Amino acid sequence: MPPSSLAAGSKRGRLRGWAIVALLSLGLSAAAAPPRQATPSNLPVEVEIPTSPMLVTADGRLHAVYELHLTSFSRLELHLREIDVTDGAGRRLLARYEGRGLAELIGGPGAAADPSDRRIIGPDSSVIIFLDVTAPSRDGMPSVLSHRLVLEPVRGFTAADTTLEAIRVPVRGEAPIILGPPLRGGGWVASHALSNTSEHRRSVVFVDGKAWIAQRFAIDWLRIGPNGQAFAGDPARLQNWAPYGAAVLAVADGRIVDEKDGVPENDPTAAAKAVPINLATAGGNYVILDLGGGRYAFYAHLQPGSLAARVGDRVRQGQIIARLGDSGNADAPHLHFQVMDANAPLAADGLPYEFRSFSVEGVLPSLSVLADGKGWRPPPGPQELRRNALPTENEVIDFF
């Protein structure tokens, strides 16, 4: 659902990206242990890690994905200089973020629009720091992560006050659920898939007074047509889009627990959606599949009238449950897919998942190449086979 940079370049103008409005908020319950250091800091800030790091395998590495919230109660500007992530004992450095690299991790209501200024935390404001700590394998990822935050010296405080030590958080030990493919065949672009700058990764949505990141591991599945583009001919005709009408598959045996049908589809070249977009209509026509173990799969933007299973039906992995469409908050045909911890499209926490097998045809430099009129072709050579992994942003995937 978050935006793409896909541009049509047709006589009817450029296509806008697709997105649900991301509202960034704080106020979630703390999961991290309070800082522990020999000389306690008196700096008026609060550091929280609301959700323990979640593990997922992608691009040959193990990723620990989570967010750190930093709230200033000071009347002064605070300048964040460095964040170090170590094992729980603080002996092994896993990641160090500083300079522009640190600034690019920062978002939220207190963050500056200019990336170069995001390390400056304004008076009485909050930021969210989006972290993705990697290790070569599960053996290399500690069971506890510790954090050291260093701020520039602040008038009236000592250097010890501006260094926050031993902010610890346990890593979630459970392995991601392994799923079958949501679609068939090749040419599928994992738009806004796992990356620390993905629009999905940073979509924090208010529902009933609480902030959620249901789309933390979501993917928008686009498709490349025979011409190397996302569409051929007039992009206003949905049938001209390569992914339109593709069979959407159950990724596991399970039971349908929620669905919506009857939402009309959008004109990809029009500024206005077919229906007003709000929390109830953002997903358009959708299906939620109970995967068991407190995990739910959400399929969004489906064709109206294409749903082949209803609430209460049990389905088998690989069974067709709907057709890919362009309903809801979508500006072009695609399948939005995510796994979450509740039967709710947005009022849930996004959970990691991995696909049992797929191959990587290549990686798009940008989504704009799908509409530049030149066409994209996979590079020569064998495809990279992956098992029990999640695609990363803009990889072109072949499911088998």
State residue 55's pLDDT score: 98
Over residues 354-392, the pLDDT tens digits come to 999 999 999 999 999 999 999 999 999 999 999 999 999
Domain boundaries, the chain: 45-170, 177-399
- Look at residues 53, 3, 56 and name the one whose alpha carbon lies nearest to residue 32: 53
pLDDT category, 128, cuts 50, 70, 90?
Answer: very high
| Rounded percentage of the chain residues whose pLDDT exceeds 90 | 79
CATH of domain 45-170: 2.60.40
> If you average pLDDT over residues 337-352, what whole number do you get?
97
Question: Does position 395 have pLDDT exceeding 90, yes or no?
Answer: yes
- Look at residues 46, 48, 36, 150 and name the one whose alpha carbon lies nearest to residue 89: 36
Distance (Å, rounded) from C-alpha 108 to C-alpha 115? Answer: 12
pTM over 0.85: yes
Residue 81: other Cβ atoms inside 10 A: 17
* Candidate CATH numbers 3.40.390.10, 2.170.150.20, 3.40.50.720, 2.70.70.10; the one for domain 177-399: 2.70.70.10
pLDDT category, 156, cuts 50, 70, 90?
Answer: confident
- Look at residues 291, 210, 266 and name the one whose alpha carbon lies nearest to residue 299: 291
State residue 274's pLDDT score: 97
Cα angle: 381, vertex 7, 195; to 5 degrees: 60
| Rounded percentage of the chain residues whose pLDDT exceeds 70 | 90
Over residues 80-107, the pLDDT tens digits come to 999 999 999 999 999 999 999 999 999 8
pLDDT category, 264, cuts 50, 70, 90?
Answer: very high
CB 263 within 8 A of CB 281: yes
285-292 and 219-223 beta bridge pairing? unpaired
> If you average pLDDT over residues 328-348, what whole number do you get?
97
pLDDT category, 8, cuts 50, 70, 90?
Answer: very low
Over residues 194-223, the pLDDT tens digits come to 998 899 999 999 999 999 999 999 999 999
